[in-house]
């Protein structure tokens, strides 16, 4: 079994292959960069991923297989993931005991010397601890039967220092030496967040190589056309030979440096435009989603002709800040900025990922707040991503290995994860945060996630509708509308622990016709309850007040049709759950 190689090393844990946030110390002329995505591209709602719900899987921690050569070794593997696919989506739309996700993002699965895999040894081989290439193809086939697509983590920026390319480069062999960035004297500058990026070449005094994240991860030099050709071939392999539906691109803002400017350079943007053209030529439906851990204004410049989506980090932070503060201002400001920067929905939403403390920790352990955070995410535009275990409220804080512990399938010493000894211990809370017990509890966080995913699938307006903030007199009540053609969804969220109705200021543009409304109680102590209630008519340009009763930390979504309807008539209804 691989060791947690960074424990005990005299380098910061942050520098071991996980992208970081923070502004660069060196600025470049904004005129050298692409415009925000909204000024360059139009939204496209025809692609499969616009309607998808993604689930991020750390294969090592998801499920150890019960059969085959890797069974019971305490490490999750591809066959274990196959065995658990029905939990994620059983392929039967008439059932409601699966999660309902329609796409998986697998964290790195290629050969690597580390437990996390972000330092690749071989771009063409599945790590032996996870299985084989044929087992990945089997996973793709089994997932397809259930309506699930698979994207894989692709680490383009750097490789493992044990990779044969770098071993030969250190020895001065051509053409490998030109695949990396070497210096014959110390360049004298540090990285974007103050870290050491120039590392001594062993046994070669005065010679250094560049690695923005760690000495274990030398950066590739994309100014050399050979690097692009080699990595394009790996992309072709995963799309054509392995059947992947696309890639999550790790640390992509650091791809090409301009001296001490080590992120967001014009050269990186230009390379991504070429990359976009290449992978779309192989499969026009292939998806790329980029990790650009930066401000929204920076993130939006990487989408549209470069990558299909990028993760909206600031929105995830704003959701948890708004819930913790009980004040809607942080999120309403952020939503306005996202609307200004992106075409509708052309970004990925998430609460937390494998590099950040888990959502429940960020919300003080409060399960009510965790439900509310999920409800806000799933009512917003964008393509939603869920980090494994978030749906059951798993706990975890830094260092990173404590955020990536085995999935808690049941309350038992081996967690239902393996028949052997789990590769890592849980962080506590297993008695309440496990799949088996939460499946039986209709008020659980898991049941809430299942309702949210199905509500989004049932109502196109929640996937594709335009967003507009609705005024409320209370700072602890967030409300917005989603509108698509004649359908409108009014989402209301109580950010406080107090009970009471809220009044919303509704501006009738176009007017609501008298009729009926489906009311979805997305966060409640019941399964999804749908009833009907009259909607007041509002002449064009007039203002009406809607009153919606809210329990503490409750989310409610009212879905109706703007077309004329007779009072008391049945409004459009999602299928009952």
Q: How many Å apart are CA 319 and CA 179, to the nearest integer?
A: 42
Q: Catalytic residue at 111?
A: no
Q: Is 207 exposed, middle or buried, given 0-12, 13-18 or 19+ CB atoms closer than 10 A?
A: middle
Q: Which residues are CB-contacts of 552 (< 8 A; sequence separation ≥ 6)? A: 368, 494, 496, 497, 498, 499
SS3 of residue 315 by DSSP: helix
Closest by CA to 231, choosing from 165, 309, 183, is 165
Given CA atoms 20, 22, 24, 28 in this order, what sign does their dihedral have? Answer: positive
At residue 361, φ and ψ (nearest 5 deg) are: -65, -40
Order of all β-strands in the sheet with 477-484: 466-469, 477-484, 487-494, 555-561, 515-521, 530-535
Element (H, E) at 487: strand 487-494
Q: Which residues are CB-contacts of 545 (< 8 A; sequence separation ≥ 6)? A: 503, 504, 505, 506
At residue 391, φ and ψ (nearest 5 deg) are: -70, -10
Closest by CA to 454, choosing from 103, 53, 105, 47, is 53
Q: Catalytic residue at 29?
A: no
Q: Are 260 and 189 in contact, with CB atoms under 8 Å apart?
A: yes
Residue 420: Cβ within 10 Å count: 13
Q: Which of 83, 121, 291, 521 is catalytic?
A: 291
Tell me how far CA of residue 567 lies from CA of 181, 517, 549, 562, 572, in angstroms: 71, 11, 22, 13, 14
Closest by CA to 310, choosing from 296, 331, 325, 329, is 296
Q: How many Å apart are CA 343 and CA 177, to the nearest integer?
A: 42
At residue 303, φ and ψ (nearest 5 deg) are: -105, 160
Q: How many Å apart are CA 289 and CA 452, to the nearest integer?
A: 23
Element (H, E) at 552: none
Q: Which of 77, 135, 153, 250 is catalytic?
A: 250
Order of all β-strands in the sheet with 246-249: 309-310, 287-290, 246-249, 149-154, 103-106, 54-57, 383-387, 348-349
Cis peptide preceding 510, ω within 30 of 0: yes
User: Which amino acids are annotated catalytic?
Assistant: 250, 291
């Amino acid at each position: 079994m691989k060791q947690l190689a960074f424990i005990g090393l005299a380098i910061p844990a942050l520098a071991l292959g996980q992208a970081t946030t923070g502004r660069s110390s060196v600025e470049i002329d904004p005129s050298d960069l692409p415009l925000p995505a909204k000024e360059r591209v139009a939204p496209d709602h025809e692609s499969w991923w616009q309607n998808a719900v993604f689930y991020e899987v750390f294969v090592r921690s998801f499920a150890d297989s019960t059969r085959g050569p890797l069974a019971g070794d305490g490490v999750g593997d591809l066959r274990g993931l196959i065995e658990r696919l029905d939990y994620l989506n059983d392929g039967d739309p008439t059932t409601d005991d699966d999660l309902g996700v329609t796409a998986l993002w697998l964290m790195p699965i290629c050969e690597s010397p580390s437990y996390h895999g972000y330092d690749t040894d071989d771009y063409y081989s599945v790590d032996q601890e996870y299985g084989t290439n044929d087992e990945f193809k089997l996973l793709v086939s089994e997932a397809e039967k259930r309506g699930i697509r698979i994207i894989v983590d692709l680490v383009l920026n750097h490789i493992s220092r044990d990779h044969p390319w770098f071993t030969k480069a250190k020895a001065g062999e051509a053409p490998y030496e030109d695949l990396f960035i070497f210096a014959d004297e110390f360049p004298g500058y540090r990285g974007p967040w103050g870290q050491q990026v120039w590392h001594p070449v062993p046994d070669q005094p005065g010679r250094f190589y560049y690695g923005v994240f760690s000495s274990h991860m030398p950066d590739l030099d994309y100014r050399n056309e050979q690097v692009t050709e080699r990595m394009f071939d790996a992309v072709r392999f995963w799309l054509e030979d392995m059947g992947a539906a696309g890639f999550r691109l790790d640390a992509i803002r650091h791809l090409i440096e301009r001296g001490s400017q080590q992120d967001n350079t014009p050269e990186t943007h230009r390379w991504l435009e070429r990359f976009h053209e290449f992978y779309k030529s192989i499969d026009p439906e292939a998806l790329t989603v980029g990790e650009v851990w930066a401000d929204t204004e920076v993130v939006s410049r990487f989408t549209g002709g470069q990558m299909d989506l990028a993760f909206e980090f600031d929105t995830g932070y704003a959701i948890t800040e708004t819930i913790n503060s009980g004040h809607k201002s942080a999120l309403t400001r952020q939503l306005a900025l996202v609307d200004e920067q992106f075409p509708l929905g052309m970004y990925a939403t998430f609460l937390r990922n494998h590099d950040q403390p888990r959502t429940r920790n960020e919300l003080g352990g409060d399960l009510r707040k965790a439900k509310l955070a999920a409800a806000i995410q799933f009512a917003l535009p964008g393509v939603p991503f869920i980090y494994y275990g978030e749906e059951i409220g798993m706990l975890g804080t830094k260092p990173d290995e404590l955020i990536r512990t085995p999935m808690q399938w049941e309350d038992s010493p081996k967690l239902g994860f393996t028949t052997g000894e789990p590769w890592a211990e849980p962080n506590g809370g297993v008695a309440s945060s496990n799949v088996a017990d939460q499946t039986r509890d209709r008020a659980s966080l898991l049941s809430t996630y299942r309702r949210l995913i199905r509500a989004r699938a049932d109502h196109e307006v929640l996937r594709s509708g335009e967003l507009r903030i609705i005024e409320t007199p209370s700072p602890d009540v967030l409300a917005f509308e989603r509108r698509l053609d004649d359908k409108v969804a009014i989402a209301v969220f109580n950010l406080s622990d107090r009970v009471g109705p809220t009044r919303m200021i509704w501006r009738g543009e176009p007017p609501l016709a008298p009729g009926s409304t489906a009311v979805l109680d997305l966060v409640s102590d019941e399964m999804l309850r749908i009833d009907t209630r009259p909607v007041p008519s509002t002449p064009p340009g007039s203002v009406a007040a809607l009153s919606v009763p809210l329990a503490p930390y409750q989310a409610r979504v009212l879905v109706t049709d703007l077309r004329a309807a007779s009072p008391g008539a049945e409004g459009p209804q999602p299928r009952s759950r």
